[in-house]
A and B are shown apart, each in its own frame.
Chain A
Amino acid sequence: KAGVTQTPRYLIKTRGQQVTLSCSPISGHRSVSWYQQTPGQGLQFLFEYFSETQRNKGNFPGRFSGRQFSNSRSEMNVSTLELGDSALYLCASSSMAGRGQETQYFGPGTRLLVL
């Protein structure tokens, strides 16, 4: 089974621009979560989508948004980029069979550099 894929793997943007990142979950997985990883803050939860609906949201400003499509693929968008948005953005998928805490499988991430 193919793992979680994320595109692009690397991205360089300038302040004020916007960016869209894409995530394809493991086949059959319906939940997609996004995390931001920085050296200072570690991994921080951005949001989770399940069946095209946002189920949970972390403590990030409204510039960070996402969506999920009917095939479970997900995109996240960051508008009006700031230098502090430079990070590794990780996507994780899980099957959501409805038991306990579902195991989350992470993709390789998209490394975003904001200049």
Chain B
Amino acid sequence: QKEVEQDPGPLSVPEGAIVSLNCTYSNSAFQYFMWYRQYSRKGPELLMYTYSSGNKEDGRFTAQVDKSSKYISLFIRDSQPSDSATYLCAMSAGVTGGGNKLTFGTGTQLKVEL
């Protein structure tokens, strides 16, 4: 079983929809949680960064972390065709817990249609 599980999709939604992306994990040492977006033929770019449990909002994006359930989510409001990409969750125990190593989910492919 992988340390981080993520539904690969693909997920197709109409423009303006609310998108919910999720990951579950098994390693209790994870304290830092990130969401990356990756466009085709590009490297991943950081969208959201959260430490421990709680919510974080940035524009149309909201990240939620529930450490008790080992479950993280990314919500995209008012989705746009430009949001079409692969979304990767990533986690870390932090510098003191294992260096700068990120453990990724396999990614969810999202398509926002006009």
Contact = CB atoms under 8 A, between A and B. Distances in A.
B43 A48 contact: no
Nearest to A100: B94
A33 to B, nearest CB: 6
Nearest to B98: A56
Contacts, number: 76
Interface stretch (B14-22, B45-53, B60-68): B45-53
Contact of B100 (A31, A42, A44, A106): A31
Given A43-B88, A90-B43, A102-B95, A33 B100 contact: yes
Interface of A: 4, 31, 33, 35, 41-45, 48, 50, 55-56, 58, 90, 92, 94, 96, 98-109
Given A41-B106, A101-B95, A104-B102, 6 more contacts: A33-B102, A56-B101, A58-B101, A90-B44, A105-B46, A106-B36
